[in-house]
Amino acid sequence: MRYKSIPVEEAVGMVLPHDITEIVPGVFKGARFKKGHIVRIEDIPKLKDLGKNHLYVLELEEDELHEDEAALRLAKAVAGEGVEWSEEIREGKVNFKAVYEGLLKIETEALLRINLLGEISLSTKHTNLWVKKGEAIAGGRAIPLVVKKTLLEEVEKICSEYPTKVLRILPKKLEKAGLVITGSEVFYGRIEDAFAPKMLPKLEKFGLKIEGPLFAPDDKDFIKENLSNLLQRGCEVILITGGMSVDPDDLTKVAIRELDPEIYLYGTPVLPGNMFLYARLKSGQTLLGVPACAMFFKITILDLILPRVLAGETLTRLDIAKLGHGGYCYNCAECRYPVCPFGKIC
């Protein structure tokens, strides 16, 4: 890029390399035109009012981009399904928002590759976070005022290797959930159920239609019958509480196993939630076995897995194993989840 001084009337379309200050005694002192501003014809009278008959401006080389154009190309390259941004980019910055409520997905490998390039920045919230419509999810920018076109070409090349783009929102795909409470002590009225008051709000906050809760004693066939009942009612995901430990009379795991799921994953590296069970039936429904910790902790492994299930994801043992890093709850006196490290994969 080249700096030169030219008459203000000839500066239209060129870039200011520094702020131009305006001072109104007792009222205002600050940048009237900021560094990086592209001079417009309507700016000329105001510039002259500020005593600027000549300007130092930048003249871009053929292989260079202004920060605003670079940010716009970055946005087009990284934004995928359910992500929007404003094309009115200023100071080389672009902010991304969720078009609708859903699960935020970040291609973390692509994100790292982009940020390794230097002179370009893309910052995001954590992947697998449930976000609201209109929520800010990421920000990007060109760091210098002027960057080489080859830098953005490399960004675009990286993004072309990821068909779903770097940023996307998966909408909620499941609409109907079921709840089964197991345990002879609850079924026969010896103690009051403590699971339903914890589980129902977790389902309701996603706007799900809920069937149940149904109650079952520690009887394998009884539990299976309840599960079959809810499946016949069209439940796409079913939470089953209790009976998840290694005691001989904890038969919930056995009942689920006998439904012959195509995926059966018991145990997680997450605290609270070690004895959680994830099962996916061949017909496509998901069963989530919720251990007793969910009665005592506000946030558990269930809160990490349920949003992904509702967005239509099928989890693997690898997905579960990755949760070990960040899967240890801080057990704060005042829980602020999801504004905390719990469940955040680095």
Please state, in angstroms and rounded to a whole number, the distance separating the CA atoms of residues 193 and 217.
12
Give per-residue pLDDT as tens, 70-80: 999 999 999 99
- Give φ, ψ of 318 to 5 degrees: -65, -45
Contact partners, residue 335, CB within 8 Å, separation at least 6: 298, 299
Residue 25, token pair as written in the block: 């005694």
Query: What predicted TM-score, i.e. pTM, was given to this entire model?
Result: 0.86
Give per-residue pLDDT as tens, 220-239: 999 999 999 999 999 999 99
* CATH tag, 176-322: 3.40.980.10
Which of the listed CATH numbers 3.40.50.2300, 3.40.50.880, 3.90.105.10, 3.40.50.1220 matches domain 2-59? 3.90.105.10
Give per-residue pLDDT as tens, 196-225: 999 999 999 999 999 999 999 999 999 999
Which of the listed CATH numbers 3.30.390.30, 3.90.1170.30, 3.40.50.720, 3.40.50.300 matches domain 64-170? 3.90.1170.30
The distance from CA 169 to its chain's CA centroid, rounded to whole angstroms, is 7
Contact 96, 71 (CB under 8 A): no
Please state, in angstroms and rounded to a whole number, the distance separating the CA atoms of residues 343 and 252.
26
Mean pLDDT of all residues in 27-42: 85
Per domain, the residue ranges of the chain are 2-59, 64-170, 176-322
